[in-house]
Amino acid sequence: MYIFITGSMGSLDWSFTMPSTITGLRGSCVVIPCNYEFKDVQHSTTNVKWYKLSTSGYLLVYDQSTQNIINRFKGKTSLFGSSNDKNCSLKIEPLEMQHSQERLFPWMDPNSIESYHTKNFHHETIALDVTDIAALPQADLLGIAKVGEPVTLSCSVIHTCPPTPPTLSLSLSNSRGTRDLIHTPLHNGKWKLTLEVTWTIEEYDKSVTCTVSYAGGQTSKNEICLNPLCDFHKPVISPSQDEAMEGIEKTFTCTVNHTCQKEKPNIIWNYQNLPVSVETRNVSAYSWKTVSTLKLKASRDDHGKTLTCTAQTTERETSDHVTLKVKRGMHSLDWTYTMPSKITGLRGSCLVIPCSFDFKTEKHSNVKVKWYLYSTTEYHLVYGPDNEDVLSKFIGKTKLYGLANENNCSLEIKQLDMLHNGDRLYPWIDPKPVQTFHKENYFDKSIEL
């Protein structure tokens, strides 16, 4: 009687590591990561084979010679890596649904596998899990989507086919932004493919769709909503320092710079029922400007008051303000005077300009009369009680002709000169300095020499 003893897998002179299960997609490939190590004797060459676990025999899945490979794996298997590097990784391509739940294991022993038994070898195998459903890609927005600012979108997928990974694409035009494709090994045969794109957000970028496509024709999409934010700068009133002239229309503008065309600020002035116009214009690629123009005819009571413009958006409201500086007009003086509009004199002689004045309401006891040369920009003194700062061509030539307490503001000019020809003069009786008033429309109130 002869007794045949087969060796146990547990007594092998080598060991290997690989995951216990791996998932792949029909039509794509799968790479089973595998490494081996000999315990004692190191072999110069190793013939790596792969088998399907079976209770009925040793079913060959991969060998250098393809003659005995079973039909469902024939032409579909190859080593991924070099056995000289102690690599026993197996690539299966294309995966088919019939491969699902198959349990495979590698064989590196120089002895035939038939000389060993496979009892209790179940835990040394890897189970194939083949699916026909593509998982959703992961889409992440790195940062906040704000119009006119760069943002990065990451689209990634986990797969098990490193030589021919799936394809990632975005609904964003290829001409926009910069793109990076990153392929990263994870563990247990899994790889992460990541497509990153960085581009400048536009206001119509509502969403981006990330699509993954596999060799088997499966696709899966994930849409990420952007809802980009529009940025609004603080409103600015201009001019901020200029004086307004009483009774004269002055233009103020309130300007708001913003990044979106469709979301415009609502600009409100605290002075209502006045002429207002609004215009929005493009400044640059991601910059718009909305300008509200207010036409204000200030009164003396507006002096020291606050002019405010408020910009309202869907998120908030901000404002800017200026303090009104109103220069009173001559027409609002509390006194009046009468004199001719034109007078003629002879060079070298004297000339008396007849002038009388009267206060409308309160009469002042100590009235000081001054005379000025009309100018649209300056206040040139022609006569003053102390005769200081008098314009050079009138120095020593002017004096009052009459008494101010008798409401007389007549001016005498001695030794007329041709330089005086065409000059326009006007009196000043107000206790406040003439510089606090404006001379708009005051031309007709002066007398021409």
How would residue 122 be classed by pLDDT, with cut points 50, 70 and 90? Answer: low
The CATH number of the domain covering residues in 335-448: 2.60.40.10
Kindly tell me the sign of the dihedral angle through the C-alpha atoms of 79, 81, 85, 87: negative
Tell me: the pLDDT tens digits for 54-65? 888 889 999 999
How would residue 10 be classed by pLDDT, with cut points 50, 70 and 90? Answer: low
How would residue 83 be classed by pLDDT, with cut points 50, 70 and 90? Answer: confident
Q: Which of 89, 100, 96, 82 is nearest to 28 (CA)?
A: 96
Q: Which is more confidently placed, 114 or 10?
A: 114
Q: Is 10 left (phi over 0), alpha (psi -120 to 50) or beta?
A: alpha
Spatial separation of the C-alpha atoms in residues 364 and 345, rounded to whole Å: 33
Tell me: the pLDDT tens digits for 300-315? 889 899 999 999 998 8
Residue tagged 């002035």 (tokens): 269
Tell me: the pLDDT tens digits for 354-370? 999 988 887 777 889 99
pLDDT at res. 331: 66
Domain spanning 236-327, CATH architecture: Sandwich (2.60)
**Domain regions of the chain by residue span:** 4-131, 138-225, 236-327, 335-448
- Average pLDDT score over residue span 220-226: 96
**Encoded tokens for 346:** 């002879």
pLDDT at res. 121: 64
Domain spanning 138-225, CATH architecture: Sandwich (2.60)
pLDDT at res. 114: 79
Domain spanning 4-131, CATH architecture: Sandwich (2.60)
